Chain A
Amino acid sequence: MSHDYKAVQWTPFKKQFDRWMLAGIALYLISFVGVSAVMQPAGESFTPIQILIRAMGTLAFLLLTFILCIGPLARLTDRFKPFLYNRRHLGVATFLVALIHAGLVILWYHGFGDLNPLVSIFVSNPEYTSLNGFPFEVLGFVALIILFLMAATSHDFWNANLGPGLWKALHMGVYLAYGLLVAHVALGALQFEKDPLYVILLGTGAGTVCLLHITTAIGGVHKVNPASLNGWLKVADLSDMQDGRAKIIRPKQGEAIAVFRDGDKISAVSNVCRHQGGPLGEGKIVDGCITCPWHGFQYRMEDGCSPDPFTEKIATYATHIVHGIVYVDPAPNTPGTYQDPTVITHNNA
């Protein structure tokens, strides 16, 4: 949780994550450059800049593919939550790798001529109406701009100032960037490099991203809970409510509701974290606060407010227990409104 917008809120794990990330990037580049340099017959070596262009380009694609797999993997297993929390640095690193790739391409392929290199990207190949001949560099350029906007606004400062909705919409642009990147590779490198390995890599990468998202989307589709008692929604039998955890309820209208049990108390809040829209109902009560599984933002159960000095607020809901069954009123209170928890007693349990 951030309050004073430090550049990076380091933790031991985050430092460890970054070391592994940098090791991976270095290993890829060393391996790619090394094999490229020694594999060619004498007198047929790649020029060093062209090796770097290819190394950076393939690395950027693989990094972005991995980043897009993290979200759905974290929905499938909690073990990927640490990757989810730290993927921001991975995203910025991907942008920098892609930037180096683009910079070298612009310098090498579009520089040293009588045209402005940036203009050359758009006019040197005019076959915009042809699929095979399409100027694939333009697709990569647009993808790079999107990645730049995301990297530049990745800090929580921008999330708070743009608002979670706009920020989230902007960062959903990663899917457009990835689509452009797949087309960039398919209409560019794959038109020249005919080895099946490249087609398999592109297809496997893009296919895995699609499959994981479809799988988690299908798994995330929940039935709307019908009104079951004078307009109150049935949540679960009390015996099914795990201590410190929540059940997620989806009313016909409005946001999903997370109904938590903390010892002998039942409380309900909005399921949507105000930070990045994380699913609070998949979180846990830690130190008396509901804790978001994505980035650890916290809220008090009874009033939906973040503890001081934080200021985030979410809606609360009324609950009650009848014959051992937990119910929730789907009408939300104003965010930050105190709502008495329902206490579990011998009479209602």
Chain B
Amino acid sequence: MSKNDFFIGWSDDTPKADRRFFIGAGLGLLTATAALAGGVAFRQNRPGKGTWNQGDVREWRGTVTAEPYSMIRTADLDGRPRTALLSCLGKCGVSARIGALSGKSVIIKGSLIQRGTHAMIAVVDGMDWIREDPEPTSTNLTFPEIEPLGQVTLRGEILDTKCWFGAMRPSEGKVHKECASLCIRSGLPPAFYVTDRQSQKRLMIMTDHGLGHSKALLPFVADPVEITATAQKWGDLLLLDGPVSGIRRL
């Protein structure tokens, strides 16, 4: 009985018909694989701008605060007084590590995360990331008064600042929801952007009665929401101040 036309897996002899078919199907599958991969990759949403060169660790001079979130007002970004948020190297804020230096002139050590005019400094690990500045710069780097701009109702998404500024690309939507939640619960400032994410120029840092948001905000992170709150200007920052009760899931 010939077995030439019957495939037996353990046999060293593979029928010619099976070999021919396998090579033909294999070539077809490889071609389809390459085309499919290219197509799937090509049609992805743009991930957004933003950079973070972790290897470029510098010293930054300015006035630091722990409330509502850890941030520094510095002239080292472009020579003008600007605000940079502060984070650890991972997913956490550093408010608790500022301690008694809050409100003082300091020198901190970290790398810049930047997207447009938004800036964050990821400070280095260890105790020497911050020290009081013995010779404060003559530029006025005190935080200005908050200016109310009025109540607004906006539709959009709550996200975490660090990822959106450049730690991740992309950094929004459902696929990033759990990461954003983890960042915000760990003390990174939440921010709000309106629905048109591609043309968004300025993010609004979210606060609750002038303080950082609590974990009550977490269920709304990365979902389509409508929020009613007070818009505020704080130097070069835009704030959106209001309680969680002003947020409605769409």
Contact = CB atoms under 8 A, between A and B. Distances in A.
A, B from the same assembly: yes
Contacts of A192: 45, 170, 172-176
Nearest to B9: A85
Contacts of B36: 28, 62, 201
B37 A28 contact: yes
Contacts of A142: none
Given A12-B12, A46-B47, A284-B3, A113 B183 contact: yes
Interface string A270-284: 000000000000011
A50 B14 contact: no
B109 interface: no
B216 interface: no
Given A20-B26, A32-B40, A191-B173, A86 B9 contact: yes
Is the contact region of chain A dominated by helix, strand, or loop, or is it mixed? helix
B44 A47 contact: no
Nearest to B177: A125
Interface string A102-124: 00000011111111000011001
Contacts of B234: none
Interface residues of B, number: 60
A112 B168 contact: no
A125 B179 CA distance: 9
Interface string A281-304: 001111110010101100000000
B11 interface: yes
Interface string A188-222: 11011111011001000000000000000000000
B106 to A, nearest CB: 24
B179 A11 contact: no
Given A32-B37, A112-B91, A120-B182, A286 B8 contact: yes
Contact of A296 (B9, B90, B174, B178): B9
Contact of A112 (B3, B33, B90): B90
B39 A125 contact: no
A1 interface: yes
A120 B168 CA distance: 18
Nearest to B92: A114
Interface in A37-91: 39-41, 43-47, 50, 54-55, 58-59, 62, 66, 78-79, 81-83, 85-86
Given A12-B14, A191-B173, A287-B3, A109 B40 contact: no
Contacts of B18: 79, 81-82
Interface residues of A, number: 86
A293 B173 CA distance: 48
Contacts of A149: none
A284 B182 contact: no
B41 interface: yes
Interface in B17-55: 17-19, 21-22, 25-26, 29-30, 33-49, 51
Nearest to B17: A79
B139 interface: no
Contacts of A251: none
Contacts of B169: 44-47, 50
B29 A284 contact: no
Interface string B45-84: 1111101000000000000000000000000000000000
B16 to A, nearest CB: 12
Contacts of B19: 13
A135 B176 CA distance: 11
Given A27-B30, A113-B92, A114-B185, A296 B40 contact: no
A115 B182 contact: yes
Closest 5 CB pairs of A and B: A112-B90, A85-B9, A31-B37, A192-B173, A35-B41
Interface of B: 1, 3, 6-12, 14, 17-19, 21-22, 25-26, 29-30, 33-49, 51, 89-92, 168-170, 172-179, 181-183, 185-186, 218-219, 223
8 contacts: A32-B41, A39-B42, A44-B49, A55-B41, A112-B90, A113-B91, A114-B91, A286-B8
